[in-house]
Structure 1
């Protein structure tokens, strides 16, 4: 049976980022829609990583009881890790593998933005430099309020995640695969390499030359090929 790749998006993103992934490499994709956006926009946005993961564990329970791979980009990697950690602690079924892309390791303080001191335009400029939003939006500051609201909500959600201390390290007994970009200034390769501390089984690190923080969209074909390779290995029982 082909495992389902359960995908979590980056801060300010949406499940739509993975809409067409299923047509590539014969992947079975479940893109998670978080509260407060898309079809769930009338629900309050989550403010606590712990409470969000508890909610997702319940909502996705039926799916996670089947063979699956967890995938997360940036904030999504934090969600995937916290979800797997919660399920490990309560002896629930774990993923066959976990893939995190451009995501800050849980034992390191994230290099976040000082949101409370920045205007929407300043936040937008920072995201433009990282490749997260098109520069043309900076020319229309009146559009930024609604666009920045989910971004700020998600960045605050990321700040709520607890940094794991050395004495609390609990490697996940799953295959862990990390993907990053050589030009990612937010989560550079040397930081990504320390995810190895959280791998209880196989670990791999793939750095895409010339890629930045938003490689899930900018380097989509390369990322999906790496995801497909992980899924194929689970099919034949290598992982």
Structure 2
């Protein structure tokens, strides 16, 4: 197995050793999220999958960098970092805002041929072309805190620590601005890569219809799984979510093998 390299790049964190030739799983966090959010996932999927957890600027060890407020610019920078690492098959997995980033990165990979994209796993987000007017990024600090409390995805210790909360609010506001001002239309060419959608059955931010609309954005195989829970359903369903990701990756690999000449 390869050694754990931790911060081996500005953008990526690898927390577990992996087997040689393992498929890369690029894990893209939600708005306000950071790479360690996916640490349990990395531990569960190693060593068969090489989980690269993305660290956005403006948080944790990148807190001195300004957070980006344009989602396409953020996707472009992650894409450039990804194609600079050793080549190999990759699956893009994103939760909430991370799902939209996964879509944008997938479009870049397919347009450039810069990587061997096996598939996309979109979690907790409506299809990118399903527009909904949202203005959380325009609220005052208390309004943004109220939003993240309602979603129940942020550690209570952060919410109760005033100093820590003020430190994370700029990045959180930037992320909300990035995803809320993003626009996609239904007339773009669909992805060739297969897409799996994972969603919480009681997610107040993502209706089943809006989640299933991801199927309109791929000409490949589409898979849909729902789990009990809300927007952060995956926090309490780690085993089931891990199994669903593993199954999707295997399905993506089989499809790619069958398509090879």
- TM-score, normalised on structure 2? 0.81
Q: Is 1:42 the equivalent of 2:64?
A: yes
Does the C-alpha gap of structure 1 residues 64 and 99 become closer, same or farther in structure 2, counting only changes over 3 Å? Answer: farther
Q: Is 1:22 the equivalent of 2:42?
A: yes
Q: Partner residue of 1:123?
A: 144
Q: Partner residue of 2:15?
A: none
Q: Contact (CA 8 Å) 2:137, 2:174: kept in 1 or not?
A: no
Of the three residues 168, 176, 179, the one matched with 1:158 is: 179
Does the C-alpha gap of structure 1 residues 30 and 134 become closer, same or farther in structure 2, counting only changes over 3 Å? Answer: closer
Offset, 1:11: 0.1
Offset, 1:97: 1.0
Offset, 1:62: 3.1
Offset, 1:161: 2.0
Q: Report the 3-state secondary structure (helix = DSSP H, G, I; strand = E; otherwise coil) of the residue aligned with 1:205.
A: strand
In structure 1, the gaps of 5 or more residues are: none
In structure 2, the gaps of 5 or more residues are: 1-20
Matches of 1:217 and 1:229 in 2, distance apart? 19
Q: Contact (CA 8 Å) 2:88, 2:116: kept in 1 or not?
A: no
- TM-score, normalised on structure 1? 0.88
Matches of 1:65 and 1:201 in 2, distance apart? 22
Of the three residues 248, 251, 255, the one matched with 1:230 is: 248
Q: Report the 3-state secondary structure (helix = DSSP H, G, I; strand = E; otherwise coil) of the residue aligned with 1:153.
A: helix
Q: Partner residue of 2:10?
A: none
1:1-239 aligned within 5 A = 1-25=21-45, 26-63=48-85, 65-110=87-132, 112-116=134-138, 118-133=139-154, 144-164=165-185, 166=186, 168-209=187-228, 211-236=229-254, 237=257
Q: Contact (CA 8 Å) 1:132, 1:214: kept in 2 or not?
A: yes
Which structure has the higher relative contact order (CA within 8 Å, separation 6+)?
A: 1
- Summarize deviations over 1:27-50 as a string: whole Å, max 9, x none: 320101112222222222112122
- Summarize deviations over 1:116-172 as a string: whole Å, max 9, x none: 2x22222212221221235676666665422322211100111232222x3x22110
What is the root-mean-square deviation in Å for CA atoms of aligned residues?
A: 2.3
Q: What is the total number of aligned residue pairs between the two structures?
A: 235
Offset, 1:174: 0.6
